[in-house]
Every structure is written in structure tokens, then in C-alpha cells.
Amino acid sequence: MGRSPCCEKVGLKKGPWTPEEDQKLMAFIEKYGCGSWRALPAKAGLKRCGKSCRLRWINYLRPDIKRGKFSLQEEQTIIQLHALLGNRWSAIAAHLPNRTDNEIKNYWNTHLKKRLTKMGIDPITHKPKTNIFGKDAANLSHMAQWENARLEAEARLVRESKKQIISNQFGPNLATKPISHGNLQRNILPLQTKIPPCLDVLKAWQGTNWITKPKTKDMTSSVFDPFFDSPTSTSNISNNNLFMVPNNNIPGLVDMNSCLVGESNFMENTKEEVQTEWKCFDKPSNELLSQINDISYSNDSSTYNISIIDQSSSGLIQGFTHLENIVGSCEDNLEDDNNNNNYWNSILNSCTLPADSPVF
């Protein structure tokens, strides 16, 4: 037996919204905000389900929605993100300013999926239908598993950070409850500025200088440091935190077939060399994977310290794959690997990210 419906359906209108209904909904939200969607229809004089009101608002009436044709840049970004995130439309939408997940989903299903298919690329795996990459397909699949696990964690991070932002701006009570009164704009979270992006995997592939950066941080600084403070750079100023970093010396690249977990020693309020002792795991255990769930997000004035670690447990993983390693170690398949590398690089190179992204 499923849960009861979100509202009493008898007498509720379904189907397309009329301009009058839109007007009522907009006027109400403008005046009172969108606190409880369940209660909103009655208060606003609408014979609609609360869910229907929410959808209409989020996908159509919200004033910050960008409508019209997708630009080439947006198309590329969607494809790139879909390659990494799969059908996580809300996560993809977070990287496209003012586009809704529904719109992106529709655009993917009606345009982009077909286009990729025509190009001979499987729109699900983003691999060529004829497997010209040979054994690298396995690596990509493995990569996807890792990325999925990490994204689960980041999804939670996003939720937490949203609450944190609301809490900081409007007080703790509103962190758990939607804003019910006041300025309309308060309830609208500009996607780009308020949701931490989760594209560090892109930077990893692009060879961002994750490892070669001096592993020190001025802990007294409140300046946001994209290396130490990004959600997935796993910086945490507490002692004895375990975290995982790339296991080779190629900047930003990690072998997906193994991973490292280490212990860091930061000295608080000092510039201190990070010391790490690394353990190597052939494959992440389920226990290890489960620890990725433990994310806390704190906002200490202007510094964002993100810890993706359970202080009481033993690890944190961060999964990236790489292609250049494969190229370097499997000379027999150099050509195929280069093809593979080029495919991903072409995806990544044109990916645009918000200039104000806290990660970059």
C-alpha cells in the first residue's frame, strides 16, 4: 500500500493551467511566498493540487526562468554533464543558469539523445555503439560507478548547503522550513550562486593542479580557497581526518582501479605541511563507500570548510578516473586510448562553468 495522496483529489482541477490560475498563483506567491505547497492552493483560491502548483511555479512561472532555444554552449554542457551525471536532471540544471530540470530533460529526450544516436554514440553510456575503445569501456564503466557514489554524497551536500544558506540569510527556523511570507525573491535560490557545483571531476580530467599545489593552507585566512575549500577537495582543518587523494603523481588523475586513503595532519591556525600516510585499497569496500555519505557543511563566516568525512570512522573516498594513465601504460592500445581520451577531452574542454563557482 502506497502512501496517501498529497492532497484530496476530489474536485481538483487537472490539465493545462489557465492565465487566471497563473495570475492567482503568482499573486499569492508574490505576496506570501511559497511556504506550504499543500496549503497554498486553498489559500490562493486555486482548485489545484499543491504539487501541481509547485510544478507550475518551478517549471513555468518563476521569474528567473530562461526560456527559448538552448544555445550551443548549453547543449554542449548538457551533453557533457549527462555523460558524467546520467539522468540527474536536477544536478545538471544546477549548472545551467535559469534552466529547469524539466526543460533540460525534455530537451535531452527530444533533441540531444537523437542527435547522439545519429552520431553513433550511445546516449546512455556516451560511448560509441561500436566499441572502438576496446578495454577502456570497462574503465569508463568503473568511472561511472565511482562518480555515481560521489554524486550521491554531493547531492546530500547540496541539500545541506541550501539549508545552510537559508539559515544564514533568514535564520535557523527557515533552514528546515520553506519561507512562507515576505518577499517573493527570498524563496528563489539562484542556482549558480547558491548550489555548490560538483564538477571537480572535470577539473581532474583536465589536469587541474590538485597535487602539485603546495599542501599548506593558512588556516587563519578566511579567503575561499578553491583547492582546500572546495567541497570535494576534502579539506578539513581538524586533525586526524582520513581522506582520499589521487594515488599517483599526475596532477588530478586517479586510477579508478585502486584508491588511497590516508590520514592528514593539519595544525590549526598555522601554515603546516600536510603529512599523509596512505593506504591502498584495490577496490573501495562497501563500508568505505558508505562513508561517503557523511558530509557536513559548515559556514564559518566567509570560509567554507567542507568535510566529507565521518570523524568517527576511517575514511573518505574521492573517485576519479583518468585516461592519460591508461595511455601511458598501455602502449599497445595507444591509438584507441587516445581516441577515448580525445572523446572525453572534447567533452570537457567545452564545458562552461559559472565564473563565481566556489569550486573553481
Partner DNA sequence: AATTGGTCCAACCGCCCGAAG
Partner DNA sequence: GCTTCGGGCGGTTGGACCAAT
CA distance linking residue 193 with residue 97, whole number of Å = 9
How far, CA to CA in Å, does 280 sit from each of 63, 216, 260, 284? 50, 23, 5, 9
Q: Which of residues 166-185 bind DNA (CB under 7 A)?
A: 176-178
Q: Contact between 50 and DNA (CB under 7 A)?
A: yes
Q: Contact between 88 and DNA (CB under 7 A)?
A: yes
Q: Contact between 227 and DNA (CB under 7 A)?
A: no
Q: Contact between 296 and DNA (CB under 7 A)?
A: no
Return the residue of 32, 59, 132, 219 that touches DNA, per CB under 7 A: 59
Question: Least distance from C-beta 223 to DNA, angstroms?
Answer: 29
Sequence-distant (6+) residues with CB within 8 A of 58 are 100, 102
Q: Contact between 159 and DNA (CB under 7 A)?
A: yes
Return the residue of 26, 32, 90, 122 that touches DNA, per CB under 7 A: 90
Sequence-distant (6+) residues with CB within 8 A of 46 are 21, 24, 25, 40, 53
Question: Least distance from C-beta 182 to DNA, angstroms?
Answer: 15
Question: Least distance from C-beta 187 to DNA, angstroms?
Answer: 9
Number of helices followed by number of strands (H, E) in the chain: 14, 5
Is residue 197 within 8 A of residue 358, CB to CB? The reply is yes
Phi, psi torsion values for 283, nearest 5 degrees = -145, 150
What is the DSSP secondary structure assignment for residue 109, as one 8-state letter? I
CA distance linking residue 163 with residue 153, whole number of Å = 16
Q: Contact between 110 and DNA (CB under 7 A)?
A: yes
H-helix or E-strand spanning residue 262: strand 259-264
Q: Contact between 299 and DNA (CB under 7 A)?
A: no
Written as one string, the DSSP assignment of 314-330 is S--------SHHHHHH-
Sequence-distant (6+) residues with CB within 8 A of 210 are 203, 204, 227, 233, 245, 246, 251, 252
Closer to DNA by CB, 43 or 135: give it.
43
Q: Binders of DNA: how many residues, by CB under 7 A?
A: 46
Q: Contact between 60 and DNA (CB under 7 A)?
A: yes
Question: Least distance from C-beta 55 to DNA, angstroms?
Answer: 5
CA distance linking residue 80 with residue 76, whole number of Å = 6
Beta bridge partners of 276: 264
Question: Least distance from C-beta 328 to DNA, angstroms?
Answer: 35
Closer to DNA by CB, 90 or 248: give it.
90
Q: Contact between 297 and DNA (CB under 7 A)?
A: no
Return the residue of 28, 44, 56, 82 that touches DNA, per CB under 7 A: 56
C-alpha cell at 232: 570535494
Question: What mask of x and - would describe binding to DNA in positions 6 to 25, judged by CB under 7 A?
Answer: x------xxxxx--------
Q: Contact between 37 and DNA (CB under 7 A)?
A: yes
Return the residue of 111, 181, 271, 279 that touches DNA, per CB under 7 A: 111
Distance of CA 340 to the CA centre of its chain: 24
Closer to DNA by CB, 180 or 303: give it.
180
Q: Contact between 43 and DNA (CB under 7 A)?
A: no
Question: Least distance from C-beta 40 to DNA, angstroms?
Answer: 8
Question: Least distance from C-beta 164 to DNA, angstroms?
Answer: 11
Q: Contact between 51 and DNA (CB under 7 A)?
A: yes
Neighbour tally for 190: CB within 10 Å: 11
Find the length of the chain. 360
The stretch among 24-32, 85-93, 256-264, 299-307 that binds DNA (CB under 7 A) is: 85-93
Q: Contact between 214 and DNA (CB under 7 A)?
A: no
Interacting residue ranges for DNA, rule: CB under 7 A = 2-4, 6, 13-17, 35-39, 48-52, 54-56, 58-60, 87-91, 101-103, 105-107, 109-111, 114, 156, 159, 163, 176-178
